[in-house]
Amino acid sequence: MKEHVPMTMKDIAKEFGISVATVSRALKDSPRISEERRKAIQQYAREHNFYPNIIGEALRHNRVMPSKMIGVIVPEFTHYYFSSILTGIEEATAARGFNIMVALSGEQYEREARICENFLRYKVCGVIVSQAKDTRNYDHYQRLLDAGIPLVFYDRICTGVNASRVVVDDYMGAYNAVNHLIETGCKRIAFYGSPMNLEISKNRYNGYKDALLKHGMPIDEKLVCVCDNRVDAETVTPEILALDTPPDGFFAVNDDTAIGILYTAKHAGYRVPEDISICGFTNGQRAIACDPMLTTVEQRGHRVGEEAAEILMEKVEGLSPMEKVEKRVVRTRLIIRGTTR
């Protein structure tokens, strides 16, 4: 495989027949350079994945030794699972002398793309990312790879980009949870999931579906909802419970959604688990802070973070080929508590 050689300001200067200083000024939007020339140079730089080395400039001025910096993109900080993954990443990278630069996408594609561009500018040595919910264009990921920056996905992977990933066994986690609901007496089970453009949603839905099929139970599309947070769960659940034949079991994509179902069902006069059984997916602190405590699928986020960091650092340190795509799966386990019979 041909080794990637990053573009420099010297290359851009040669292309335009100008000095490196002029290129530097144009990239900094200096009014000393005509607008037409500034735009031409900036466009050429973007097209060739060149970004000024901001960290390098700071180091030259401050005379500080450069650090090994890894960029990490987190969809949200409030979710226990993502915070546990981040802890795993931080502990694994710190143990090998790396630092992390953490950015929040807020589940927004535009913000995620901007973060990737900033990581290019800051010359991070690698990126670990969980895709935002509404991301459907993957050019910003491909630009990282084209610039020779290794990329590792965790939790929400991007199938449109050929990069390493670490996930939990979403399919088996959902299958075992729904199988437990059926074996403990549930006859109609609702599925609350994330948008189906996410692989985790597809895998968990397939686990749900196959558990029903195994027991000869029909799949009722009226019981399949795009609902992955507590606020939406408290809005959707009354409508589901008002169906002519309401469910007696719920499987939710995460614990917060499951707790929203629990809260709504109890306030509607249902007994949990006597009338309705509920299972979540995470096993965070909130799962044991509700009444009754939540049956849920444990995701082992700390281990996911460690595995993602390990793959990335091996590529950065030359211990694993850059072109090698690794796919690691962390096993889940069902934690049975008071919301199921």
Whether residue 191 has pLDDT greater than 90: yes
- Give the sign of the dihedral formed by CA 25, CA 28, CA 34, CA 37: positive
Angle between helices 35-47 and 9-16 (to 10 degrees): 130
Q: What is the pTM of this model?
A: 0.77
According to the model, what pLDDT value does residue 54 have?
52
Tell me which of 135 and 244 has the higher pLDDT.
244
Asked whether the bond before 273 is cis by omega within 30 degrees of 0, the reply is yes
Q: Does position 62 have pLDDT exceeding 90, yes or no?
A: no
The pLDDT of 151-177, averaged and rounded, is 94
pLDDT one-digit tens code per residue, 130-144: 999 888 899 999 999
pLDDT in the model for residue 2? 44
How do residues 304-315 score in pLDDT, each as one tens digit?
999 999 999 999
**pLDDT exceeds cutoff 70 at 52:** no
Tell me what the pLDDT averaged over the chain comes to: 91
Question: Using CA atoms, how far apart are residues 60 and 22, in angstroms rounded to an integer?
Answer: 19
